[in-house]
Chain A
Amino acid sequence: MAISLQQILIQTVNGVVTGMILALVASGLTLIFGIMDIVNFAHGELFMLGAYVGVLTLAAAGSFWLALLSAMVAIALLGALIYVTTLRPLLGRDPLTTILATFGLSLILQNYALWQFGPVARKIAEPISGHFTLFYLDYPWYRVVIALIAGAMIFALWMFLKFGTWGIWIRATTQDRVMAQAMGIPVPLVLATVFAIGSGMAGASGVLFGPLTAVDHAMGLDWILKVFIVVVVGGMGNLAGSIVAAIFISLLEAYASLWVSPAQAVIVSFVVLILTLLFRPTGLFATATR
Chain B
Amino acid sequence: MNPGSGAAPGAVLLEVDGLHSFYGKSHILHGVSLVIGRGEVVGLLGRNGVGKSTTLKAIMGLVQPSEGQIAFEAQPIIGLPAHRRARLGIGYVPEERRIFRFLTVTENLRTGLDRHGVSKQRKKALLEKIYEFFPVLVERRNQAGGTLSGGEQQMLAIARAMMLEPKIILLDEPTEGLMPRMVGQIREIISVLQAENVAVLLVEQNVPLTLEAASRIYLLEKGMVRHHATVAELRADHSIIQQYMGV
Q: A201 CA to B107 CA in the complex, in Å?
A: 26
Q: Is the interface of A mostly helix, strand, loop or mixed?
A: helix
Could you mark each residue 99-111 of chain B with 1 if its beta carbon is under 8 Å from any beta carbon of chain A, else 0?
0111100010011
A172 interface contact, C-beta 8 A: yes
What B residues does A94 contact at CB under 8 A?
none
CB-CB nearest in chain B for A166: B114
**A30 shortest CB reach to chain B, Å:** 15
Q: A179 CA to B101 CA in the complex, in Å?
A: 12
**B101 shortest CB reach to chain A, Å:** 6
Pair B81/A181 contact, Cβ less than 8 Å: yes
Pair A176/B98 contact, Cβ less than 8 Å: yes
Contacts A176-B98, A188-B81 given; indicate if A183 touches B112 (C-beta within 8 A). Answer: yes
Instruction: Specify which of A171, A186, A187 is in contact with B103 (CB 8 Å cutoff).
Output: A171
A180 interface contact, C-beta 8 A: yes
B30 interface contact, C-beta 8 A: no
B60 interface contact, C-beta 8 A: yes
User: Could you tell me which residues of chain B, from 186 to 214, have a CB within 8 Å of some CB in chain A?
Assistant: none
B164 interface contact, C-beta 8 A: yes
B160 interface contact, C-beta 8 A: yes
Please, how many residues of chain A have a CB less than 8 angstroms from a CB on the other chain?
A: 20
Contacts A175-B100, A289-B102 given; indicate if A168 touches B62 (C-beta within 8 A). Answer: no
Pair B87/A175 contact, Cβ less than 8 Å: no
A290 interface contact, C-beta 8 A: yes
Q: A168 CA to B163 CA in the complex, in Å?
A: 15
Q: A8 CA to B103 CA in the complex, in Å?
A: 42
What B residues does A179 contact at CB under 8 A?
94, 98, 100
B86 interface contact, C-beta 8 A: yes
Pair B160/A183 contact, Cβ less than 8 Å: yes
What B residues does A183 contact at CB under 8 A?
83, 86, 111-112, 160-161, 163-164
Pair B82/A181 contact, Cβ less than 8 Å: yes
What A residues does B82 contact at CB under 8 A?
178, 181-182
What A residues does B110 contact at CB under 8 A?
165, 168
B122 interface contact, C-beta 8 A: no
What are 15 pairs between A and B in contact, CB < 8 Å? A165-B110, A168-B103, A168-B110, A172-B100, A178-B82, A179-B94, A180-B100, A181-B82, A181-B83, A182-B60, A183-B163, A183-B164, A184-B87, A184-B111, A188-B81
Which residues on A are within 8 Å of B, measured CB to CB?
165, 168-169, 171-172, 175-176, 178-188, 289-290
Closest 8 CB pairs of A and B: A184-B86, A181-B82, A165-B114, A179-B98, A182-B92, A183-B111, A184-B87, A183-B112
